[in-house]
C-alpha cells in the first residue's frame, strides 16, 4: 500500500502568482519584444508612406504604413498618436521591382522571379538631444517566386512588408 502523501496541487500555481507579483511590483520591466525603448518614451507617430516607385502596386503605401503601425503596437508599449510624438517615422516607398532571378535552361523565360520592395525611412527620436539615435536609411527586402506574379502578389508583398517592418523596428528600437 502506498502511504506517500500527494503534494498539494495549489502550491505551484500560488508560487507562480507570487513571483509574478514580485517582479511586477519591483518596477523592473522585462520583455522580449520591447527592444531598448527609453523608459520616458511614451508616444509614436507613423506618417503615411507614399508609394513613389516607378512600378506601382495600388495598396502598397497603405499596407506598409499599417504594417509598421501594427509592428510597433504589437512589440512595444508606445501609444500611437497623430502629430507630434516622442518617436516619429516618415518616409516613402522608392522601389517595387520584379526581376528574373533564374532563367530556364535553353529558353529566355524566367524560372524564378524576384519581387523587391525598397523603403526610405526617416526616424526621429525627439527625446534624444544628441540626435545619435535618429536615422535616415533605405531598407530593402525581397521574395522569390515561380512563374507570374498574378495570384501571388498580395501574399508576397505581405511577407516583404513583415520583413521590412522588422528591420525598421530593430534599427529604431533594438539598435541593430
- Give the chain's end-to-end CA distance (angstroms, integer): 62
Ordered by start, the domain boundaries in the chain are 35-173
Could you tell me which CATH number the domain at 35-173 has? 3.30.160.150
What are the grid coordinates assigned to 47, written together? 506618417
**H/E segment holding residue 88:** strand 87-103
Checking if the pLDDT of 18 tops 50, the result is no
* Cα separation, 157 vs 166, whole angstroms: 14
* Cα separation, 143 vs 151, whole angstroms: 14
The 10 Å Cβ neighbour count of residue 113 is: 19
Place of cell 532571378: 101
Mean pLDDT over 106-123 rounds to: 89
The predicted-structure confidence for 40-72, as pLDDT tens digits, reads as follows 999 999 999 999 999 999 999 999 999 999 999
Mean pLDDT for the chain overall: 84
pTM score above 0.85:
no
Amino acid at each position: 500500500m502506498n502511504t506517500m502523501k500527494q503534494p498539494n496541487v495549489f502550491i505551484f500555481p500560488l508560487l507562480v502568482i507570487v513571483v509574478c507579483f514580485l517582479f511586477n511590483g519591483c518596477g523592473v520591466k522585462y520583455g522580449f519584444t520591447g527592444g531598448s525603448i527609453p523608459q520616458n518614451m511614451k508616444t509614436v507617430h507613423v506618417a503615411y508612406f507614399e508609394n513613389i516607385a516607378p512600378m506601382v502596386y495600388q495598396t502598397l503605401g497603405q499596407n506598409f504604413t499599417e504594417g509598421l503601425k501594427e509592428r510597433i503596437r504589437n512589440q512595444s508599449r508606445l501609444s500611437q498618436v497623430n502629430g507630434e510624438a516622442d518617436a516619429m517615422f516618415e518616409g516613402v516607398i522608392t522601389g517595387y521591382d520584379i526581376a528574373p532571378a533564374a532563367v530556364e535552361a535553353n529558353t529566355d523565360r524566367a524560372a524564378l522571379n524576384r519581387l523587391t520592395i525598397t523603403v526610405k525611412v526617416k526616424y526621429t527620436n525627439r527625446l534624444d538631444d544628441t540626435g545619435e539615435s535618429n536615422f535616415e536609411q533605405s531598407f530593402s527586402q525581397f521574395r522569390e517566386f515561380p512563374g507570374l506574379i498574378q495570384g501571388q502578389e498580395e501574399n508576397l508583398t505581405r511577407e516583404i512588408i513583415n520583413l521590412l517592418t522588422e528591420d525598421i523596428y530593430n534599427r529604431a528600437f533594438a539598435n541593430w
